[in-house]
């Protein structure tokens, strides 16, 4: 029942793991990636563990604020937040916060399958009226776009790796279930990330 309401745009329905893998494949300079709660985080793990990934457990909605803090602390490093639609809907205000500070090195990506997939596929507000790119633009993130298809997603990621942000990318995704889950080891996840970006000695 993903996206069974008429959509506000013509984006192709894609796959979260495929797009996450395409993103990670483009990261050649130890870019940081913050994976939001649940399937965003699990498919970041399934795309291949990286030392520069932070897999957020709990605190639903905070992937973008965490990525924002990392981006301010590490202005020379590009930082990506991966959020689900339900998570981002919980913290829409952070888009306005981030837009006003406007870190040039931050990209927020929302995987929109229009459902709370992990709890039984109940519909989110984006199954109905809400459009994330309209919301992001309204919050002040002028460089916001739906990825129309996989090639367009890659084009948008290339743009975020080449120019000045902040950027916001929304991708319409299917209801595929992640094949594996991130180990629930929050202290190890934190320590690995801080070593991965050389904040802690290896």
Partner 1 sequence: MDPTVDNAATWPDAIYVHFRRARIRQVGYVPDAGHSRLIQRCIDDPDIADVVLTTEEEGVGLVAGATLGGQRAALLMQSSGVGNCINMFSLIKNCGFPCLVLVTMRGEFGEFNPAQVPMGSITEESFRLCGFLTYRIENPDDVDEVVGAACDMAFDGNVPIAVLLSQRLIGRKVWSK
Report the residue number, 3 or 144, with the smaller CB distance to partner 1: 144
What's the Cα-to-Cα distance from 106 to each of 37, 54, 127, 128, 141, rounded to whole Å? Answer: 19, 15, 27, 28, 11
Contact flag: residue 140 with partner 1 (CB under 8 A) = no
DSSP collapsed to 3 states, 132-201:
HHHHHHHHCCCCEEECCCHHHHHHHHHHHHHCCCCEEEEEEECCCCCCCCCCCCHHHHHHHHHHHCCCCC
- Of 2, 13, 60, 130, the residue at the interface with partner 1 (CB under 8 A) is 60
Binding to partner 1 by CB under 8 A, coded x per residue (else -) over 150-179, reads: ------------------------------
Q: Candidates 57-65, 114-122, 129-137, 166-174 — which segment interacts with partner 1 by CB under 8 A?
A: 57-65
Q: Is 71 in the site for partner 1 (CB under 8 A)?
A: yes
Residue 46 neighbours by CB distance under 10 Å? 18
**33 lies in the site for partner 1, by CB under 8 A:** no
Least Cβ distance, residue 49 to partner 1 (angstroms) = 17
| Whether the Cβ atoms of residue 176 and residue 40 lie closer than 8 Å to each other | no
Residues that bind partner 1 in the complex, under the rule CB under 8 A: 32, 34, 54, 56-74, 91, 93-94, 96-97, 100-101, 186-187, 189-190, 193-194, 197, 199
């Amino acid at each position: 029942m993903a996206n069974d309401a008429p959509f506000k745009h013509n984006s192709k329905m894609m796959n979260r793991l495929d797009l996450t893998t395409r993103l990670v494949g483009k990261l050649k300079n130890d870019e940081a990636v913050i994976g939001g709660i649940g399937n965003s985080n699990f498919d970041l793990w399934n795309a291949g563990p990286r030392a520069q990934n932070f897999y957020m457990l709990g605190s639903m909605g905070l992937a973008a604020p965490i990525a924002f803090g990392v981006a301010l602390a590490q202005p020379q490093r590009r930082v990506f937040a991966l959020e689900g639609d339900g998570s981002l809907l919980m913290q829409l205000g952070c888009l306005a916060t981030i837009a006003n500070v406007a870190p040039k090195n931050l990209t927020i990506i929302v995987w929109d399958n229009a459902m709370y997939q992990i709890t039984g596929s109940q519909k989110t507000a984006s199954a109905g009226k809400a459009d994330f790119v309209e919301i992001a633009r309204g919050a002040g993130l002028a460089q916001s776009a739906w990825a129309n298809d996989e090639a367009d997603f890659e084009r948008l990621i290339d743009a975020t790796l080449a120019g000045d942000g902040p950027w916001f990318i929304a991708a319409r995704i299917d209801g595929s279930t992640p094949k594996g889950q991130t180990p629930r080891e929050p202290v190890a996840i934190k320590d690995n990330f801080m070593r991965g970006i050389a904040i802690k000695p290896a």
